[in-house]
């Protein structure tokens, strides 16, 4: 809202500054103001269209405190096409007196093709995210919100045979959507990728709980040969696969997955306190 107020003031001041005798200057100010108005009108129209739908609940977010980090599930009345590497802006009526005037950008951590929802992972800092964390100390909370986006352009990784991703701490949120998309494309024969290695340095073991839901869903979709080197629970006899999962940070389970000897699988290795856990 500050940007809107500032840009409006600039348009008014330019109009007052340009002499009436300068017709060309006045025309330029009018053209620029019309372009500015059209841009904001388009954004506002998209905001209303994407957050409201007749006969359906408006946009809401479910916020859960996971060891002092935030897991956010955004529920939309209309489906969005979200690509890896994109981000959204969230505006809320609460928490905070001026929250309705603020737009906060967050990277999309994951989405489901058959659903209208997507997820965010947030590391609370000062201000808005810290107040949101305080509201969730008693348990998961649902808030009304306006979501704007998606914005940004990701990287096309479909032409690579092997992809290696590195992340540290909450930076894993930027890779989760890529992992989901690459595994889905592999199952549908839309990509050349055969090996995907995600190396993640976690600041503490509880950060594993931020991604276990998304990563376990991805791992269950990924076809893995039974010869994979991993101490996981075996799948039903004769299935040719093993059941893989990311262990919770509150347990002593190993969180990593080693690649199969001949590739063609998803590998996850988490690095904590200077050691490779697998």
pLDDT tens string 207-253: 787 777 777 777 776 654 433 333 343 443 333 333 444 555 554 44
Within a domain: 202: yes
Within-domain flag for 140: yes
Q: Which residues contact 240 (CB under 8 A, 6 or more apart)?
A: 225, 226
Q: Give the SS3 label for residue 200.
A: strand
The answer to whether residue 251 is domain-embedded is yes
Residue 131 lies in a domain: yes
- 168 and 268 assigned to the same domain: yes
Q: pLDDT: is 77 or 115 the higher one?
A: 77
165: number of Cβ within 10 Å: 19
The torsion angles phi and psi of 153, rounded to 5 degrees, stand at -130, 125
Which of 151, 175, 196 terminates a domain? The answer is 151
Are both 144 and 214 inside the same structural domain?
no
Q: What pTM, to 2 d.p., does this model score? A: 0.71
Q: Which backbone phi and psi does 255 adopt, to 5 degrees?
A: -90, -10
- Do 34 and 92 reside in the same domain of the chain? no
* Lookup: tokens for 230: 């991993």
Q: Domain span at residue 20? A: 2-51
The model's pLDDT over 64-111, given as tens digits with 9 standing for 90+, comes to 888 888 889 898 888 888 888 889 999 887 766 677 778 889 988 877
Domain C-terminal end among 130, 151, 172? 151
pLDDT at 31: 92
pLDDT of res. 264: 45
Instruction: Name the domain boundary from 151, 176, 206.
Output: 151
In a domain, 156, yes or no: no
Q: Are residues 36 and 78 in the same domain?
A: no
Give how many domains the chain has, as a whole number: 3
The pLDDT, as a whole number, for residue 18 is 87
Tell me what the mean pLDDT of segment 6-29 comes to: 86
Q: Look up the CATH number of the domain holding residue 83.
A: 2.40.30.10
If you average pLDDT over residues 49-69, what whole number do you get? 86
DSSP conformation letters of 113-175:
TTSS-EEEEE---STHHHHHHHHTTTS-EEEEEEEEEEE------TT-SEEEEEEEGGGGHHH
The predicted structure's pLDDT at residue 221: 65
Asked if residue 181 is part of any domain, the answer here is yes
Is it the case that residue 277 has pLDDT exceeding 60? no
Rounded Cα distance, 169 and 180, in Å: 19
Q: Tens digit of pLDDT for each residue in 121-130? A: 888 888 888 8
Residue at 216 is within a domain: yes
């Amino acid at each position: 809202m500050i940007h809107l107020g500032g840009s409006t003031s600039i348009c008014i001041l330019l109009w007052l500054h340009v002499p009436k005798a300068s017709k060309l200057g006045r025309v330029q100010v009018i053209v620029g103001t019309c372009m500015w108005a059209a841009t904001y009108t388009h954004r506002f129209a998209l905001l209303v269209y994407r957050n409201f739908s007749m006969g359906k609940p408006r946009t809401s977010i479910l916020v859960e405190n996971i060891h002092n980090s935030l897991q956010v599930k955004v529920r939309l009345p209309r489906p969005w096409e979200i690509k890896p590497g994109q981000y959204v802006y969230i505006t809320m009526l609460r928490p905070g007196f001026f929250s309705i005037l603020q737009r906060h950008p967050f990277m999309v951590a994951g989405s489901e093709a058959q659903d209208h929802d997507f997820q965010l992972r947030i590391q609370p800092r000062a201000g808005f995210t810290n107040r949101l964390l305080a509201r969730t100390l008693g348990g998961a909370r649902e808030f009304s919100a306006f979501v704007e986006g998606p914005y940004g352009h990701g990287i096309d990784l479909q032409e690579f045979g092997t992809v290696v991703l590195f992340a540290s701490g909450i930076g894993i949120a930027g890779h989760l959507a890529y992992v989901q998309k690459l595994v889905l494309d592999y199952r549908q024969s839309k990509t050349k990728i055969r090996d995907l290695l995600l190396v993640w340095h976690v600041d503490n073991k509880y950060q594993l709980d931020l991604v276990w839901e998304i990563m376990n869903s991805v791992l269950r979709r990924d076809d893995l040969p039974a010869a994979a080197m991993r101490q996981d629970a075996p799948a039903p006899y004769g299935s040719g696969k093993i059941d893989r999962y990311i262990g919770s940070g509150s347990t002593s389970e190993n969180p990593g997955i080693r690649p199969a000897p001949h590739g063609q699988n998803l590998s996850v290795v988490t690095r904590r306190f200077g050691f490779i856990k697998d």
